[in-house]
Amino acid sequence: MLIQLLMNSIIIGSVYGLMSQSFSLLYSTTPFFNMTHGSISAIAGYIAYMFLHLLGWNIIPSIFIALTVAAFFSFAFDRYIYMPLRQRGGSGMILLVASLGVYTMLEAIITILFNPQFKTLGKIDSSQVFNVFGAYISSVQLITVVVNLLVLFFFIFLLKKTLFGKLIRAISNNKELAFILGVRTDLFIGFVFGICGFVAAIAGVLAGFDTGLEPVMGFSMLFKGIIAAIIGGIGSVYGAFFGALFLGFIENLGVMIFASEWRDTIAFVLLIVFLYFKPQGIFVRNNKL
């Protein structure tokens, strides 16, 4: 049972990790709690559903279009909603409220277009299952774990080894100075929105195959991602990755010891404990990415 507990922790930690890593990177460039980020994952899931099930397309192009369109939505939200607000001196609170409004609107649109009934991307009982050292993991869950790891490597490579990453780190450290030095900060922030939207979209599509789609799915995924990011150290992709795994483990341990009803309570208690005792998170020093 312990091995299965660890496996369960890794699986759910990977789901949280996709959201937390993308949220962390996003937050490092535009420090506000972007609620729309959760609905990007829902948008991707439903677009994939539309192409796969309603239009009968093949799985690969359906997923590709879903991810690309969702990423574009993320970029567009920044371009046409958040960037104008930032340019007018909007505070983090104003941006948060704006993002909440956009989230609510998107959830309503998804509900109207697709109805709130639960849907799945794949056939719900069609996953292949693997036995890894006595613990079971389905093919979709294995893909989630692997993708989460790949996203971490991608972000590390992007931030450390590319010029783009250097510029993002510069913006994260001091946006005004980067602007003065000639960096087109708004454009690069837009690109970050697009990239992070792409990663959130991956989380949505994988969730659609594993546990199904609902219009409200984005909020709970984002919320756990935010908690994981705070635990790991907000603004750090390493921190977000390990924070997510830690959150997944503590939640599952709590369910094992107490009961499933306590899962969300445990997550909240953990958040409060970290905010109180270690608000900078486990991995962040000097607020660097």
Partner 1 sequence: MKKYVWLVIFVILFSVGLNKLANNVVVEDNSNETVKIGLVVPLSGNQASSGEIFKKSAQMAFRDIAKKNNKYKYELIIEDDGFEAKKTVSVANKLISVDNVDAIVSFSSHSGNVIAPIAQNNKVIHISLASDDNIAKSTYNFINWTTIEDEVIKMVNKIDDDGVKNLAVLVVNHPATNLMLDYTKKHIADKNTKISYVAKANSGTRDFKTIISKVKSANPDLISLIMFSPEQEIFVKQLRELGVNAPLTSIELFAMSNQKELFNGSWYVDAAVGDENFNNQFKEYANTDNNFGAVFVYDSLNMLNHIYESTNTKSPEVNRLALENLKIFDGAAGKLRNSKNGIFKSEASVKVIENGKISLLKAK
Q: What part of residues 204-223 is at the interface with partner 1 (CB under 8 A)?
A: 211-212, 214, 220
Our finding on whether 263 is near partner 1 (CB under 8 A) is yes
Our finding on whether 280 is near partner 1 (CB under 8 A) is no
Our finding on whether 143 is near partner 1 (CB under 8 A) is no
Q: How far is CA 72 from CA 18, 55, 97, 108, 173, in A?
A: 18, 21, 21, 20, 26
Stretch that binds partner 1, among 146-154, 157-165, 259-267, 268-276 (CB under 8 A): 259-267
CA pair distance 247, 10, nearest whole angstrom: 10
Stretch that binds partner 1, among 8-16, 194-202, 231-239, 276-284 (CB under 8 A): 8-16
Stretch that binds partner 1, among 1-9, 32-40, 51-59, 187-195 (CB under 8 A): 1-9
CA pair distance 103, 111, nearest whole angstrom: 12
Token pair, residue 120, equals: 């799945």
Our finding on whether 260 is near partner 1 (CB under 8 A) is yes
Our finding on whether 104 is near partner 1 (CB under 8 A) is no
CA pair distance 187, 38, nearest whole angstrom: 22
* End-to-end alpha carbon distance in the chain: 36
Pairing of strands 135-138, 129-132: antiparallel
Please identify, using beta-carbon distances, which residue of 124 and 146 lies nearer to partner 1.
124
CA pair distance 122, 228, nearest whole angstrom: 28
Q: Give the binding site for partner 1 (CB under 8 A).
A: 1, 4-5, 8, 11-12, 115-118, 124-125, 127, 129, 131, 136-138, 141, 211-212, 214, 220, 252, 255-256, 259-261, 263-264
